[in-house]
Amino acid sequence: MGTLVGHVAPGFAFFLLGFWHLINHIKLHAQQPNSYTSLPWFPTSKIRYIELFFIMLGSSISVSMELFIGPERHQPFDPDGTIPSNHLHNFEHSSISMTFFVYAAFAIILDKIGPKTQYGLTQLLGALAFGQQLFLFHLHSADHMGVEGQYHLLLQIVIVVSLATTLLGIPYPRSFLVSFVRSASIMFQGIWLITMGYVLWTPSLVPKGCFMHLEEGHKVVRCSGEESLHRAKSLVNIQFSWFLIGITILVMCFYLVLLKYYGEKVEYTSLTKAEDQLLEEDSSESDRDVESQKKVTTKFGANNSSSFMHIGRSFAPIDMER
């Protein structure tokens, strides 16, 4: 992974995966807002496991590049069978890819055993893959103090979001917000990895006051002094902030477009003159009914009074002395 292609290729894979999840989660929620339930991966009609096959293929290519194709001797070990210092990062990167391969392989097996019971375990395996990624990038054997270290530090923030939302998806499978943020964070991982690949291994994009230097078999960016290093790190922070704003605008616009396209369509039509007249007639009839009811009530009350007075007169007291 310590090359331009080594960052751009997996970054593009992360971006596609996050974009694929974002589309399907928004579509599923727009079509079933009341019964929405998140999915750890999305099958297709023609090839059910195409997403998982894509992860397995990408992980296999990554491991092959790190351990067999990339090294000069096409294997990462020294003649005595030990791991040389310049190949430590190859083993770290390949371990991340192996964990994602394990996730995809067991997701297929769990789906074949019982689709209804596989959700929690599949989510847990996904969280394990993100946890492995966070662990190895946090304790990376590459430079932690320079510009490359700043890029890796900010990448870890995005990985934490992916890990947290994957774990939250286990107890809250009906939360669209959790799935939405997880998809966006996976997309962000991809964009940031692509940016790292181009900035750290393209001489014309290296910050002013810094230069590319060959160390332990791979190129790293070094700065001429503390001021140049501080400026370079600040530029990385600003770049991360701009990408955060950009990815937020992108996913929100995408959400609004897909919601309009897949959501429930409510049609509003203007009333015609005939319907207007019918409503007026219904209203006038209702008013007439109310007036009639009032008249009946008034008349009935008056009749009751006179009847009561009449009955009172007919039962006048009798003069017993007479």
Query: What is the tens place of the pLDDT at every residue in 1-37?
Result: 668 888 999 999 999 999 999 999 999 999 999 999 9
- Tens-digit pLDDT profile for residues 178-217: 999 999 999 999 999 999 999 999 999 999 999 988 876 6
Phi/psi at 106 (nearest 5 deg)? -75, -25
| Tokens, residue 297 | 């009530």
Residue 40 has pLDDT above 60, yes or no: yes
Give the per-residue pLDDT at 311.
Answer: 40
Query: What letter would DSSP give residue 264?
Result: P
Q: Assign 85 a pLDDT band (cuts: 50, 70, 90).
A: confident
Stretch among 57-66, 81-90, 287-296 having the lowest mean pLDDT: 287-296
Q: Assign 269 a pLDDT band (cuts: 50, 70, 90).
A: very low
Nearest to 119 by CA among 41, 53, 181, 52: 41
**What sign does the CA torsion over 179, 183, 129, 53 have?**
positive
Nearest to 94 by CA among 109, 75, 122: 75
Percentage, residues of the chain above pLDDT 70: 79
Amino acid type, 48: R
How far CA 45 is from CA of 42, 48, 50, 51, 217, in Å, comes to 10, 6, 10, 12, 46
Q: Assign 265 a pLDDT band (cuts: 50, 70, 90).
A: low
CB atoms within 10 A of CB 20: 18
CA separation for the pair 318, 322 (Å, rounded): 9
Nearest to 207 by CA among 143, 138, 148, 144: 148
- Tens-digit pLDDT profile for residues 216-257: 667 889 999 999 999 999 999 999 999 999 999 999 999 999
Amino acid type, 192: W
| Tokens, residue 50 | 């195409």
Strand, coil or helix: 254: helix
What is the mean pLDDT of the segment spanning 131-136?
Answer: 96
Q: Assign 312 a pLDDT band (cuts: 50, 70, 90).
A: very low
pTM of the model: 0.80
Give the per-residue pLDDT at 250.
Answer: 96
Strand, coil or helix: 85: helix
Residue 319 has pLDDT above 90, yes or no: no
Give the per-residue pLDDT at 266.
Answer: 44
Stretch among 110-119, 177-186, 304-313 having the lowest mean pLDDT: 304-313
Residue 83 has pLDDT above 50, yes or no: yes
- Tens-digit pLDDT profile for residues 143-188: 678 899 999 999 999 999 999 999 999 999 999 999 999 999 999 9
CA separation for the pair 174, 27 (Å, rounded): 14
CA separation for the pair 12, 194 (Å, rounded): 7
Q: Rounded mean pLDDT of the chain?
A: 84
